[in-house]
Amino acid sequence: MYWHLDEQVNHIIKNYSTTSNHLITQAQAVTFAGVLFPELKNASKWVESGSTVLNNEVTAQYFPDGWLKDGDLHYHIAGIEDFRSTMLVAQLNGQSNRFPASYVESMRKMTEVVMNMVYPDYTVPNMTDTRRDTWTKSVLKRNLTNYANLFPDNTQMLWMATEGVSGTQPETKVKTFPDAGYYVMRTGWTKSDMMMVVQNTPEGPSKKWHRQYDNNTFEFWCKGRNFFPDSGSYVYGGDSAVLAQRNWFRQTRVHNTVTLDNRNLETTDSKLLFWDVTPSLTTLVTENPSYEGFTHRRAMFFTLEGLLVIADQISGPAAGNVGVHFNLCPGRIEYARDGTVRTLFADGNNIRIKTSATVPVQIREEEGWVSTAYRKKEERPAYAVEAPKTAGGELLFITVIAPDE
């Protein structure tokens, strides 16, 4: 066993991944081997190698705002645990000097990302490859407890870890992560509140495997129900048939954003243009050059009562059919003659959606699926509000989403 362990750890060191979560996990394994088998001749070399990589990657793979550059919450949480558990094993075996105080502080913003991304019912956004069902309430609370122990001065983290039994309820209603392109707005932190997550990431899916063609998409959670869950990923990788299924869920049109002729987004240079918070209104404005000659600017106005107004401004020389897409949670909806769409849940927790534009629009029903776990998918209602755009012309869509109780 010793011989094979030595062989495999040395192989990892010689073949480290250049970056990504793979490198973090490899360095964790190398460090573990060196710390836990000090009697082996290469142990000190392993600890030095693994801890050096981890001390570098704890900042190299994360934006200044704390988000994993990969943009996937699943791997963001997993990375934190790799960093934390490796440091803990080193401490328990007399090698705490391998990880200085700066290493711990680098994780502070990472853990605050998780705290702010969790919905009041202890679910998480289904964006990118996160696979929401993987992160159960018990698993999230365990991680939040680890974070609270790591940062005992963070009483808000303790409140989240204990479901409000201890600590201080967070007061933050808006949290922006402009480096990563994630923005969180909420009316509060309890199950009777409302919360939304907007995603407008700076790098496109061609650069990051876990990304999707979904800039300016959003999720809207209201009193225990995620009314606009992200489509998810369904499968991860495989042959061409499997990748075809994965690519279906990555399409722009199956996200809550805007398309031109139903095509996938082509370019991304997203920007946060403006955000403002008052006691009664939160305003967020983002922009994305979705196609050549086509700029999508999305302004979102979120009131203390949970009323959401979305203004989609489309400009540029490109011409074609513009669609504003809405992909709802599984359940029944109805379309009224005036264009209002209503959900029909028996528990009374429902919403109304109404979209108008500067030109006549039409509503077209679309195929809709949502995947919250690997190879699991469920049909859901989806539709697009469409209007033609002329070359050089501008369009403005106004959508109002309101509680309907």
What phi and psi, each to the nearest 5 degrees, are found at residue 341? -115, 135
> What's the chain's Rg over C-alpha atoms?
23
Please tell me the pTM assigned to this model: 0.93
Eight-class DSSP state of 265: P
Q: What pairing do the DSSP bridges indicate for beta strands 174-177 and 182-186?
A: antiparallel
Instruction: Give 277-328 pLDDT, tens digit per residue.
Output: 998 899 999 999 999 999 999 999 999 888 999 999 999 999 999 999 999 9
Q: Which residue is associated with the tokens 């069902």?
A: 133
Question: Residue 72 in contact with residue 214, Cβ under 8 Å?
Answer: no
Q: Which residues are catalytic?
A: 75
Read off the pLDDT of residues 76-121 as tens digits, 9 standing for 90 and up: 999 999 999 999 999 999 999 999 999 999 999 999 999 999 999 9
pLDDT at residue 202, as a whole number: 80
